[in-house]
Amino acid sequence: MVKITDITNQKNKNKFNLFVDGEFYSGILKETAVANNFFVGKEIDENLLADILIESETKQAFEKASNYLATRLHSKFELRMKLIKKEFSSRAIELALNRLEDYGYVNDKEFAKAFAAQNSKLSRQMISQKLSSKGVSKDIIAEVVCAADPENEFQKALTVAEKYLKGKDKDSVRDKLYISLARKGFDGQTIKNVINKLYNTDIDY
């Protein structure tokens, strides 16, 4: 058993500082302290106290993540990184993220679909790279991005190429156009098809 030896206010009006056996133990939500009848002098099983505090922290992490999701969709990885920066414990973070998944608030497949739709002007490879950097799994990326219509990829590359050529001498920048499209993540065959259409030729790069 351990004894609560002090409970003090934090600058955060919704939290207390909890002291156990004369030493600072943890911050705790005021509602958690009230709900569990915490008071100075109370003795409590240390394991039970730890469970109560992790549940309190998990609730805080859940609420913080929910606030992030209210602004835009996030991948699970993005939320984890943001919660780590807020110095939540790894246990509370995982519990909070699991609850968000259970409620359907976090879904990397739906996130990937929405991201691909919002960035529809980008090449499939570029979208894949961006999703990978956001921690989305390769399987989800393959399902969501790589299944895209090749004709749509051609049209995106054609739009980018036409914008690049605007105001330029086409013949003098053909090789630069190829490089520009490649840097934007379009594959070789798509680039070849675009250039052949724009230049009304059939050059094999």
Per-residue pLDDT tens over the stretch 5-30:
999 988 888 888 889 998 898 888 88
Please check whether residue 180 is in contact with residue 162, taking contact to mean a CB–CB distance below 8 angstroms. Answer: no
What pLDDT does 188 receive?
Answer: 79
What pLDDT does 97 receive?
Answer: 97
What pLDDT does 203 receive?
Answer: 61
What pLDDT does 201 receive?
Answer: 72
pLDDT digits (tens, 9 = 90+) for 53-74: 998 899 999 999 999 999 999 9
What pLDDT does 67 receive?
Answer: 96
**Gap between the Cα atoms of 13 and 29, Å rounded:** 9
What does each C-alpha distance from 174 to 107, 153, 154, 186 come to in angstroms? 42, 20, 17, 15
The pTM score is 0.72
What pLDDT does 149 receive?
Answer: 61
Structure tokens belonging to residue 36? 């569990």
What pLDDT does 150 receive?
Answer: 62
**Gap between the Cα atoms of 20 and 26, Å rounded:** 9
Which residues of the chain have a pLDDT value below 50? none
Of 2, 6, 99, 10, whose CA–CA distance to 52 is shortest? 2
What pLDDT does 68 receive?
Answer: 96
